[in-house]
Chains A and B, each alone.
Chain A
């Protein structure tokens, strides 16, 4: 049974959140709803009309498309690769920074620099640096008798190169988040463990890792969600090539929409991607509430 004061409080609460909710509805809710609606039609930019209702045909076509399947597979390996590499490096650097007292601010600034750059700029810069014959990287490798490395012209290399450039660009994100988690850890359990005879490695394994678990889960999930949406670097550096070695889902959807002009199918693809991301976000939300 709700008292009158509670009811009034609730009304007031709704009133306060209404402008925000309306704005969210307008800029996020409406486009999503529109996209999902469009995905049920044979809607192209050449013939923009909602005359041809096709039901779930666009989804069926998308799921049966081999190229889409390949892009999904490439995306999966790409996400796994960057998240694993970025997490490993990120955790290591965060641990090192956490025990650094002098010059921490300077390291911070240096590490944050790549993160502040636009991915398009990052892609362009690295494309220039990695030019096989005119780029500085191969020149420097040449000085020590290595190379020239075919960074982007070979399918395997190109995939690794794109992963490494993304790592260069985004690893600081992991570092910053993990470092925040590490510096919030209580000091006493470590001292207790030290008195109990735990080595540094044992302390890490028995105390740091379990205590950091919630932070780690959240960091990984956030990174995975962002990684799935990777687009700019691929667009700038490889266009999904050579061959289809770096053809990520986001870039695939972009092509469906703006090259193929097939908005219905592109919306269906985006809907599938959204479903995956929403599922992961829901899980993230649950994990965060448990923390």
Chain B
């Protein structure tokens, strides 16, 4: 086995193993950490394909922003990080059925797609080409996606502040403190 395949299999094992840990871990913070590991592994795959720009974007967006916000939400939501919370899935059968079916569809399409392998060297400066395409040929999808993200952002704010339907400017509700901090707060107040 050459170095390339070896690196691929190590990365693939890392991704799959940590993805399994994400869904099976009893501790939600561990799940988040394993999710970061899996996403970093995907960035490693991009590096192996010489898609450096994509790899950096993957790390920057998924690890740097999304995962951090997720951990933040986990730590700020009271009781969710407790050990007692149940993480078992009651619909294991139907879950297995759906994921098995998805796996079958993916495998079927993988085996039936004729992948064209080109002899051409990998293009340098893919980031520049990507940027040019995003602002010329694909400018409409690009803008639509950004409007969609904006809508999601506004929607999240509206859901979070649904108490203000009377039109009055109600001050935002205080964020519940994690359990370990609530005790400290009670002590300082008494």
Q: Answer whether A and B are interacting partners.
A: no
**Which of A's residues lie within 8 Å of B, judged by CB?**
none
**Which of B's residues lie within 8 Å of A, judged by CB?**
none
